[in-house]
Amino acid sequence: MIRVMLLIVQGLVAVTSVAGGLVMAVGSWPGVDRSAFPPELQLPEEYLSGSPFSTYLVPGLLLAVVVGGLHGLAFVLHLRRGAFASLAAAAAGYSILVWIFVQMALIPFSALQAVYFGAGLAEVGLLLLLLGVAARVPAGTALGSLGPLGPVGGREPAVGSPHDRQKHSA
CA distances from residue 16 to 46, 49, 64, 82, 91 in whole angstroms, order as listed:
23, 25, 9, 23, 17
Largest CA distance in the chain: 75
Neighbours of 112 (CB within 10 A): 12
pLDDT digits over 3-30, tens only? Answer: 999 999 999 999 999 999 998 888 777 6
- Block means of pLDDT (10 residues each) for the chain, 170 residues, are 94 96 82 67 78 88 96 95 93 96 87 94 93 72 58 54 54
pLDDT of residue 41: 67
Whole-angstrom distance, CA of residue 37 vs CA of residue 65: 22
